Structure 1
């Protein structure tokens, strides 16, 4: 790490430490200090962001990110109980939203990927298999409910990509998930 990067890191950490009781209230995905100020990096260019794409409280909302003028990526997450690949009732709502999106945009959808994750409890080879089972269950649900299986793809990462700390029960519950990524194009010609 070069000297200016170290200095920027020091300033950012000092800002967080100075705010004392600063809390990570997410507004427009940026952290705010106790006085409502946006916490920025040392060069005052970027805000500190929360890496949680969808929390359990707002899991039914679509998160849309445009990546080119004609491509759209939609990301959602469903959550699982400890050491389970059974799809929860509340997760079926989100999966059904994915199915509805597919049915109303069938000609524009390029790919739907289910990406399995786990918390860090247990050994990594077990977690990798568990995350794969979760991704497969989500994929099966989508295929059994009308999504063309040729568009479906699975991936699994075990506990390698957490969205929250594995040091707390709440954080571990957020890491036990399947991320669903829909890639589609506006007005695609077949």
Structure 2
């Protein structure tokens, strides 16, 4: 089996070729951009932690002309603010039918499934992982979800899984830049 060496280890050469075709990345939020935990304050305030490395990866994809979208089952003002800060404009929150939102994005960008990568960590995300040309699960995703994915990141959700996917896409397409920018 032929492999390609990356910072994240050896990956199958066929997978590397599939990464070259990606033109849209669709992400879940909880368990992907965050570690999946939700902090609730006494006054009902909801808090989540986001990793700046993931933010940098999203900005790098967008700067390379690859849009990033979010489809999540929860509604959260925090997600709206974080994604707006990163330049993500396609944000579907409170979405119980993730495949319908996925299809709306594919139609909007006029892409077939082979040009779409999707990353998710739990059962509601599997329909997107199976539909996408490249289904990705974070290292700490539910075990069954990992079995459904084409690639499981070496990084955990909320700790660089999105960055790993973005680095691999950009590396495969010759757009990986290692200078400049600001962590977000």
Scaled by the length of structure 2, the TM-score of the pair is 0.32
Between 1 and 2, higher relative CO (CA 8 Å, sep ≥ 6) is seen in 2
Task: Please state which structure has a larger fraction of its residues in strand.
Answer: 1
Report the structure number with the largest CA radius of gyration: 1
